[in-house]
Structure 1
Amino acid sequence: MIFRQLFDPTSSTYTYLLGDGGEAILIDPVYEQVPRDLALLQELGLKLKTTLDTHVHADHVTGAWRLQQRCGSQIALAEVAGASGLDRPLRHGDRIDFGGRYLTVRATPGHTNGCLSYVLDDQSMAFTGDSLLIRGCGRTDFQQGSPQQLFASVHEQLLTLPGECLLYPAHDYRGITVTSVAEERRYNPRLGGDVDVGDFTGHMNNLNLPHPKQMAVAVPANLRCGQPEGDAVLPETPDWAPLTLRFSGVWEIEPMALLEHMAGLQILDVREAPEFIDRLGHLPGARLVPLSQLTGSLDQLDRERPVVAVCRSGVRSAQACVLLSKAGFGKVANLAGGMLRWKIEGLPVATDSA
């Protein structure tokens, strides 16, 4: 089984990818991170089958609808949440299959009335949303929350799993990535040890926390499964050439596509001067600006024309793309495989000096 834990720094949300037999599911995808998730799916050779949300989040907008538009994936969420646009309204005990593996749905309300946790078939992993966080839990003061209900959910549905079962929450604000049932039974200050429902209720009813900053936007959007209001327009993908977004966040262009579009592009070779005229040669019309000199040479480039960065293998040029993007260049791509790939494909090269 393939497993990846992904992170959105803006909302401190963890998104989880599970794959098997060429099929994948994503748990708690974030709208803005969909390009990253699509790139990872492509690189791992996985077809997205289903997106699952643990609850109607108040701090970010789900990527479920946006992923459905790109992949045709099913959208699954708790039936009691009352969201529109669902393909699979989920109930306690339902099973979500991917490849030869599956997750079992456990209803764990209390943070919200529609909280679900997902338990892997062999009970080695569980995805707990905000019902059970690492040494904590979700708040209970909005979205039909209830401390009494949350206490029962955690103790009946999660802490009864095997002690070695790894628990993966929807959020962590300290950068901690995983815990276990045994750890939370013993060390969770709100729900572990000898804490009873009275202790827990008294604690939760006196937190006096401010509402999440994105709540007014996120909750209505998530009740539409992340679909924007009105005539939805997906964020644009570059249209100046056929590009592929890599998991690193860098757009790449294939050698043949670059050859076909070279006339309107700036080709930036970021190798050192001796490499520019070595046995690999360089692309016709390329400008030599070594990576070490790039930040001091930005004024030499036209910010309106797309830039394709090139190096020997594509590693240095990928870094050049990152630097150019941070410097405000909006149309930047890396030559996939660099000059090595260009040469292998028998495309034209020049050997004259810069």
Structure 2
Amino acid sequence: MIFRQLYDATSSTYTYLLADENTREALYIDPVFEQQQRDLALVEELGLTLKLVLDTHMHADHVTAAWALKQKTGAEIGSAAVNQAADVDHPLRHGDTIGVGAIQLEVRATPGHTGGCLTYVTQDHSMAFTGDAVLIRGCGRSDFQQGNAATLYHSITEQVFTLPDECRIYPAHDYNGRTRSTVGEEKAHNPRVGGGANEQDFVRYMNAMRLPHPKKIDEALPANLRSGKPEDGRLPPEPDWAPVRLTFAGVPEVEPDWVVEHRDQVTLLDVREPNEIAEPGEQLDNAVMIPVGELHDRVGEVPTDKPIVALCRSGRRSSMAVNILRQSGVERVANIRGGRLRWKEQGLG
């Protein structure tokens, strides 16, 4: 299995990528709307095809990227049937199985935080994606969205804590930088439900909590009932001056052949050293030449009346140049993918 754990710092949300190494088919669990470009870039860079997007519950602190990823890749959406969310291809119920290739997940209903929480468990019971039902040394609150502390207690003890002690727990959130736990750890050390706590202990603990309302709940809940589809039904705007793709490292890129075809519409910034450009055939017509080591001090010399595309030998130094320009306020800028090496591979001179 290919497995990645991704993080959104704004909402402290974990997003999980699981993919079959043989079929190269992939699924995401709990993607965040603002991170959709990052998540698409990772799929592309790993050579995967996104087939499925799953949510563990109706999130109150962020908007899901499920709908956006479906529009861009054709992936299907799965979430709890009880939520009755729009644009869902797989309304999931307790006991269902869903996945891609050899990666099949057992669906366990674990309500209590909300009325429609699901936990996804791998078939070998080695991994459980618990949403907010079980967090690391904690659990989701139970004071809104059809939450119920007694229901949550039974969900945790009967659906999660019955898994093997060595089963790894991957929650939807963590606010302290912790990445995973195990069933055995949480049974022993979870301060709310572990260590032999009974239902009465748990319910009284949860009922004594006084938590502020989630900041994004008024925006997130209506959007998530649409599977993350914006009210206007439109995807976020993307650069319209070129077919720009964002890398997993967060760098916007364009292909060399596009640059050659649209040379008069862009400013070509060559950030190689003078000795590299002095080699036969390496000096490019009408290029602005500023070595990357000097760019911080000479950024004002780069014309901004046209979009800027940055070039170096391999595309690495020029990606730094792109970041320097973006930090200085330039918005229409992209790296030339693969640099001069890819330029030559494509037979562009």
TM-score band, normalised by the shorter chain? over 0.9
Q: Which residue of 2 aligns with 1:4?
A: 4
Distance, in Å, in 1 between the alignment partners of 2:83 and 2:19 is 26
User: Which range is displaced more, 231-240 or 151-160?
Assistant: 231-240
SS at match of 1:3: strand
User: Which range is displaced more, 231-240 or 217-226?
Assistant: 231-240
1:324 corresponds to 2:334 = no
Aligned residues of 2:112 and 2:155 also touching (Cα < 8 A): yes
Q: Which residue of 2 aligns with 1:352?
A: none
Report how far residue 301 of structure 1 moved: 2.2
Distance, in Å, in 1 between the alignment partners of 2:284 and 2:15 is 40
Equivalent runs, 1:252-263 vs 2, <5 Å = 252-263=253-264
Report how far residue 279 of structure 1 moved: 5.0
1:28 corresponds to 2:57 = no
Report how far residue 295 of structure 1 moved: 1.8
Distance, in Å, in 2 between the alignment partners of 1:129 and 1:327 is 39
Distance, in Å, in 1 between the alignment partners of 2:314 and 2:43 is 23
SS at match of 2:108: strand
User: Which range is displaced more, 334-343 or 114-123?
Assistant: 334-343
Q: Which residue of 1 aligns with 2:88?
A: 86
Tell me the amino acid that sits aligned with residue 294 of structure 2: Q
The C-alpha deviation readout for 1:237-283, integer Å capped at 9, x for no partner, is 22222332211111222221111111111111122222222356233
User: Which range is displaced more, 164-173 or 75-84?
Assistant: 75-84
Equivalent runs, 1:155-170 vs 2, <5 Å = 155-170=157-172
Report how far residue 297 of structure 1 moved: 1.7
1:139 corresponds to 2:141 = yes
Distance, in Å, in 2 between the alignment partners of 1:207 and 1:70 is 41
Tell me the amino acid that sits aligned with residue 83 of structure 2: A
Q: Which residue of 2 aligns with 1:290?
A: 291
Tell me the amino acid that sits aligned with residue 50 of structure 1: L
Q: Which residue of 2 aligns with 1:247?
A: 248
Report how far residue 236 of structure 1 moved: 2.2
User: Which range is displaced more, 324-333 or 162-171?
Assistant: 324-333
Q: Which residue of 1 aligns with 2:17?
A: 17
Structure 1's unaligned 5+ residue stretches are 349-354
Equivalent runs, 1:1-354 vs 2, <5 Å = 1-20=1-20, 21-229=23-231, 231-278=232-279, 281-348=282-349
Tell me the amino acid that sits aligned with residue 219 of structure 1: L
User: Which range is displaced more, 256-265 or 103-112?
Assistant: 256-265
Distance, in Å, in 1 between the alignment partners of 2:161 and 2:323 is 44
SS at match of 2:104: strand
Residue correspondences, number: 347
Distance change in 2, residues 1:347/1:157 (3 Å) = same
Report how far residue 95 of structure 1 moved: 0.6
Aligned residues of 1:241 and 1:261 also touching (Cα < 8 A): no
Tell me the amino acid that sits aligned with residue 269 of structure 1: D
SS at match of 1:297: helix
Structure 2's unaligned 5+ residue stretches are none
Aligned residues of 1:282 and 1:339 also touching (Cα < 8 A): no
Aligned residues of 2:288 and 2:302 also touching (Cα < 8 A): no
User: Which range is displaced more, 243-252 or 280-289?
Assistant: 280-289
Report how far residue 285 of structure 1 moved: 1.6
Aligned residues of 1:103 and 1:118 also touching (Cα < 8 A): yes
The C-alpha deviation readout for 1:186-215, integer Å capped at 9, x for no partner, is 111111112111111111111110111000
Distance, in Å, in 2 between the alignment partners of 1:288 and 1:234 is 37
SS at match of 2:18: strand
Distance, in Å, in 2 between the alignment partners of 1:209 and 1:98 is 38
The C-alpha deviation readout for 1:95-149, integer Å capped at 9, x for no partner, is 1120122001000001001000000111111100000001111101000111111
Distance, in Å, in 2 between the alignment partners of 1:346 and 1:92 is 56
SS at match of 1:185: helix
Q: CA RMSD in A?
A: 1.4
